[in-house]
Structure 1
Amino acid sequence: MIAKWKVVLFDLDGTLLDSEWFYYKAWRKALEHHGFPLQSDVWLNELAGTTDTQALELLRSKYGFETERETFFEEVRANVAQQHEEEAVPLMPGAADLLSFLHHRGITMAVVTSSKRPVTMYHLERNGIKHYFRLLVTRTEVQNPKPDPEPYNLCVAQLAVDRKDCLVLEDSVTGSTAATAAGLTCFGVQTHESIRKMLKADRTFDNLHEVREYLEAH
């Protein structure tokens, strides 16, 4: 059915892509090199959904981690590049099915992400889903990334659509905060219950399969 919404805006990492653990491993390895043990709960609860700069600033301000910024980011990028040689970053369970479902119902789709455009393009093309999206709003195009509403405001403006016709799917507090601040309906999609309870969302789901079932029924 999905009569209520004409546009669905997707976050990328952790929502469409099962990438949080992929990037966690890269950051953990770089931080261990500097003597800082990164726990998985810190990554999931505090760093997931942020930009690299936001993540490093949080580690500095909250945990006292100090390092030369660009050198550290080079280490992270090197770890990511090595991991790309060894493993692919898959879609989240239910992502391909949901995209096909929405596409066949004529729903306009876009990606709004804190990843930079080349990284976003790489993952969408590698997973064969770029053609579904009319627009990509990435870290490259905005001055103020999530949790600021700018990325979603820019997306709505460029699509020239009404906010009431838009549904956002997000997995993080950072992303859901941005979506709701932009005045958009936000569904939180998060497997981890502790994070799911913190999301600033109108409704929450465990996975994208549940989202598809809900949209089909409503």
Structure 2
Amino acid sequence: MNKLQSVLFDLDGTLIDSEYFYFKNWAPILKQEFDLQITYDDWIRDFAGHTLAHNVKRLVEDYGYDTTEEHMWKRTRAAYADSNMSDIELMPFAKDILVYLKANNIRIGLVTSSYRSTVDTVLGKHKLLDYFEFFVTRECVESPKPNPEPYRLALTKLGLAGDSCVAIEDTITGSRSALDAGLQLIAVTKQEVERARLTDVDNIVENLQQAKQLLSDWI
């Protein structure tokens, strides 16, 4: 690859430990609405890393439930508000990798399917917003991940080619988006079900400390 100039991070499951938060809010709703009982493993396999629209489509088409994106938006947002999203913790080594990249003058962006309000709430609580040059959030694009539009928009903001940028993702959904936009990729996940899906990814590590070690070879 060309000399590394920028690293673009996913948010949920990559920088913040949010998947259990989403599971514990969705599970009671699925039970109340559809009498559907899921485990955390079910959540990781079938719902994690996807947009609300994707998950609602799955409920309608794969499970046969009668619901809408608007209805599930209202139910889930109310649950998130009651659960206090600001309690979500960082993934291990999240701040360390940001500090390291900043110290080495690497440009940092965030590319997420979450909304800006989530970014501001969680990263704001951890005082990490200033590490990022820009944020590509759900409201910035028409087609979210796995479509490459979010990463193409990020490259436009950077004014850089994909081969000088690395995306850090934790799911096949985000990885597909980054690869199709022409970026280099590091996948960071301990989830076996997710690792088995990442067959097109050369660099798969278990945590952000290992990702930082890989990046150090490219700086």
Structure 1 length-normalised TM = 0.93
Check whether the contact 2:167–2:184 (CA below 8 A) recurs between aligned residues. yes
Compute the displacement of 1:217 (Å): 4.3
Q: Which residue of 2 aligns with 1:112?
A: 111
Q: For the residues of structure 2 that align with 1:119 and 1:139, how far apart are their CA atoms?
A: 10
Contact kept, 8 Å, 1:185 with 1:202, in 2: the verdict is no
Runs (5+) with no aligned partner, structure 2: none
* 2:40 corresponds to 1:40: yes
Equivalence for 2:67: 67
Letter paired with 2:166: L
Q: State the partner residue of 2:18.
A: 19
Question: What runs of 5+ residues in structure 1 fail to find an aligned partner?
Answer: none
Query: 1:210 maps to what in 2?
Result: 210
What SS does the corresponding residue of 2:204 show, helix, strand or coil? Answer: strand
Equivalence for 1:197: 196
List per-residue Cα deviations over 1:146-184 (Å, max 9, x = no partner): 000000000101111121110000001110011111111
- Quick one: percent identity of the two aligned structures? 36
Q: SS of the counterpart of 1:56?
A: helix
Q: Residues of 1 paired with 2:164 and 2:177: CA distance?
A: 17
CA distance in structure 1 between the partners assigned to 2:65 and 2:42 by the alignment:
14
Asked if structure 2 preserves the Cα contact closer than 8 Å seen for 1:29 and 1:79, the reply is: no
**Residue 68 of structure 1, CA deviation:** 4.3
* Equivalence for 2:131: 132
1:197 is paired with a residue whose SS is: helix
2:11–2:112 Cα contact (<8 Å) kept: yes
Decide whether the 8 Å contact of 2:56 with 2:67 is kept in 1: no
Equivalent residue number for residue 89 of structure 1: 88
What is the CA-CA distance between 1:187 and the residue it aligns to?
0.8
Q: TM-score, normalised by structure 2?
A: 0.93
CA contact (8 A) 1:10 1:170 kept: yes
> How far apart are the structure 2 equivalents of 1:208 and 1:36?
34
Report the residue type matching 2:167 in the other structure: V
Equivalence for 2:54: 54
Aligned length: 216
1:15-69 Cα shifts (integer Å, max 9, x gaps): 0010011011111111111111123223212321111111111122122222244
Shift of residue 213, structure 1, vs aligned partner: 2.1
